[in-house]
Amino acid sequence: MKWTREDLDAAMVKIEELASTDMDFRNLCLSDPHAAVKKATGKDVEPSYKLKFLENEAGYETFVLPDYQGSGDELSDADLDSVAGGGTKWDIG
């Protein structure tokens, strides 16, 4: 099953809600992200899709860096698709 942007947004809302109030779920996010997504949404994520949850440490602001684009001047086909507009679906499950 392909996940839409709306699916991902709804999943993140549910995961954030659960992780902020349920320590067992929070630990599941850190130890088994795929199981945590399944528990929160009821939807499977392809095992080959890499997921990682990070716990913010007190005194630090956590930023996720964008993917490295290299020194080439050309955009990849995926990059071109993402900036060309239209619908986007992620193959995570």
pTM of the complete model: 0.65
Query: Does the structure show a pLDDT above 70 at 92?
Result: no
Query: Does the structure show a pLDDT above 80 at 79?
Result: no
**pLDDT tier at 1, thresholds 50, 70, 90:** low
Query: Does the structure show a pLDDT above 70 at 10?
Result: yes
The mean predicted confidence, pLDDT, of the chain is: 84
Q: How far apart are CA 40 and CA 14, in angstroms?
A: 6
Q: Looking at 45-49, 63-67, 71-75, which range is the least confident one?
A: 71-75
Burial of 8 (0-12, 13-18, 19+ CB in 10 A): middle
Q: How far apart are CA 35 and CA 38, in angstroms?
A: 5
* Orientation of helix 5-21 relative to helix 23-31, angle to 10°: 130
Closest CA to 32 of 50, 10, 18, 20: 50
66 Cβ contact partners less than 8 Å away, ≥ 6 residues apart: none
Query: Does the structure show a pLDDT above 70 at 35?
Result: yes
The radius of gyration of the chain's CA atoms, rounded to the nearest angstrom, is: 16
Instruction: Say what the pLDDT of residue 73 is.
Output: 62
